[in-house]
Structure 1
Amino acid sequence: MELIHGAPLWLAATNFWVIRSSTSQRECVLVDVPPEPAKVIKFVKDANLKVVAIIATHGHIDHIGGIPTVVEEKEFLDDLDHQKIRVIAHKNDIELIRDPIGSSAMLGQALLQARLSTKIPELIEYLDDDVTFSGAGLSFDALHTPGHTQGSTCFKVKVEGLPPLIFTGDHLFAGSIGRTDLPGGSLDSLMESLVTKILPLSDDTVVLPGHGPSTTIGTERLTNPYIQEAIRTHGR
């Protein structure tokens, strides 16, 4: 497996991630696309990759604002069958995705000023809970982890012989958790999600968050005060 990290982008320094299997030739999957799609497109083109799917960990604008522009990029379409890019998101964030500007207050105005497309992608797939799907030679397990938003979802990738990876969006950060004071947020739900979906993962699982540096489940289990609190209040 080859993991390529693009860069933290836009006002909120949101991480976008590029991942592919070593056996997938040029195919890759993007995880979250901030509202700087030109930089994402350039990164993918410079690496000579082909995007087959985009995963949205949740529906906030700093994670999805660049998706419509990327999926409309003509050079990303398959030359033979005009295959379009799949977009994967949880069904509980459908309203955020349908109205990214109206649901994002001042950040929505920043998207308007950038004159980026807000068209809903043609091939968007709204997940139910705990499903598995494939892309770029990899298998992704979707773990619904409400709390930051109602549809917040972490995506785990397991490859034989390597530590598992999990893309946590704004659910879990190195040393912290996502905020829960925005519409649809719930601290109680986030803590419950941590205990039931994230803490059962192995300590060597690499955490790739939506903001900040990567970490591991083992490190967070030992050092993250919010996880300690989640265990105390929601542990079983």
Structure 2
Amino acid sequence: MQLVSIGGAVFGAWCHLLVDGDARCVVVDAGAGVAAEVAGLVAARRVRPTAVLATHGHADHTWDAAQLADAWDVPVVLHAADAYRLRDPFGTLGVLGSAPHDPRGPLAEALASVGRDPASYRPPSRVETFGAVDDDPTPDVELYLGGVHLVARHAPGHTEGSTLYLTELDDGTPLALTGDVLFAGTIGRTDLPGGDERRMARTLTEVVRGLDPGTVVVPGHGPTSTMGRELRTNPFLLG
């Protein structure tokens, strides 16, 4: 698998393309302002998208998902516990969301900075989910998206449906797209709607610490790291 990352302008969220050896790809975390660049990369590489994934349902990771998925006639895929967020990107983001007609809201201001009308949001027409709303956590789910293979590992705490996507790079190096669960040197916040400090602590102990130390950690914001480095230096993983 090859990884191509695109920096998003809204809250600095990353968008990723995972491209397999058969010229198929999935897009992970299509936040606002990335659609044109993603579409250009897909066309330039002559790859076929099979799905648009979301590590969780926050708007900075999903705003352009409908535009891309509907254009390619592919589903938006995420954990069932976060699917409701696609219907209300502002209200489910709490203090960062505000209302779409309120230009003072952080999300509305960030959208305006990349030329997105906050009132223009529409949910994707095709949504496919895995897991169950009441699972805590969901067992690993093998995703085969038009031949692209990933493991979805439920990691609640930042949101109810936060998920790590696990795969291997072409050289065999394990890769984890961690969304807003694990960052280089820190972890995701738990004070937004659906966040839970207790569940995050359990995720860190039972899910994150168990990743292979050689895993490349690619978070939803900030720099890339490795699991070995995080186990040695991240204060939330020590002890």
TM range (shorter): 0.7 to 0.9
**For residues 41 and 107 of structure 1, do their structure 2 counterparts lie closer, same or farther at Cα, with a shift above 3 Å needed?**
farther
Q: Distance in 1 between matches of 2:52 and 2:91?
A: 22
8 Å CA contact retained: 2:216, 2:227:
yes
Structure 2 length-normalised TM: 0.83
- Deviation string for 1:26-63 (max 9, x for gaps)? x1111100111223222322333221111100011100
Over residues 84-115 of structure 1, what are the superposed CA-to-partner deviations in whole Å (9 max), with x where a residue is unaligned?
Answer: 21211111112211111332222443448713
Alpha-carbon RMSD: 2.0
3-state SS, counterpart of residue 61 of structure 2: helix
Which TM-score applies when normalising by structure 1?
A: 0.84
Structure 2 counterpart of 1:88: 77
Q: Equivalent residue for 1:16? A: 15
* 1:115 corresponds to: 117
Matched, 1:156 2:166: yes
SS of structure 1 residue aligned to 2:49: strand
| Aligned residue number for residue 219 of structure 2 | 209
Q: 1:147 to 1:139 in 2, by over 3 A?
A: same
- What is the CA distance between 1:197 and its match in structure 2? 1.0
SS of 1:197's partner is helix
Equivalent pairs counted in the alignment come to: 217
- Contact map agreement 2:26 2:148 (CA 8 A) in 1: no
- Distance in 2 (alpha carbons) for counterparts of 1:55 and 1:157: 14
Q: Work out which of the residue numbers 42, 45, 70 in structure 1 matches 2:43.
A: 45
Aligned: 1:198 with 2:198? no
CA distance in 1: counterparts of 2:130 and 2:147, whole angstroms = 20
Structure 2 match to 1:144? 154
Confirm or deny: 8 A CA contact 2:70 2:125 kept in the other structure: no
The aligned counterpart of 1:71 is: 69
Q: Post-superposition shift, 1:187?
A: 1.9
Paired residue type of 1:38:
A
Other structure's SS at 1:222 match: helix
Contact map agreement 2:164 2:178 (CA 8 A) in 1: yes
**Are the equivalent residues in 1 in contact too, given 2:25–2:148 (CA < 8 A)?**
no
Q: Which residue is equivalent to 1:133?
A: 143
Conservation of the 8 A alpha-carbon contact between 1:61 and 1:100: yes
Pick the aligned partner of 2:233 from 198, 211, 223.
223
| 1:196 CA displacement | 0.6
**Native 8 Å contact 1:89 1:127 kept in 2:** yes
Instruction: Look up the match of 1:80.
Output: none
Structure 2 residue ranges without an equivalent (≥5): 99-104, 132-137
What SS is found at the alignment partner of 1:219?
helix
Q: Percent same amino acid at aligned positions?
A: 34
Shift of 1:133: 0.8
Distance 2:76 2:16 in 1: 14
Counterparts of 2:192 and 2:232, CA distance in 1? 28
Matched residues in 2 for 1:160 and 1:12: separation?
A: 30
1:137 offset after TM fit, Å?
A: 3.8
| Counterpart in the other structure of 1:2 | 2
CA distance in structure 2 between the partners assigned to 1:2 and 1:144 by the alignment:
23
CA distance in 2, matches of 1:67, 1:20: 17
In structure 2, what is the Cα distance between the partners aligned to 1:29 and 1:45?
13
Question: Secondary structure, in 3 states, of the residue corresponding to 2:203?
Answer: helix
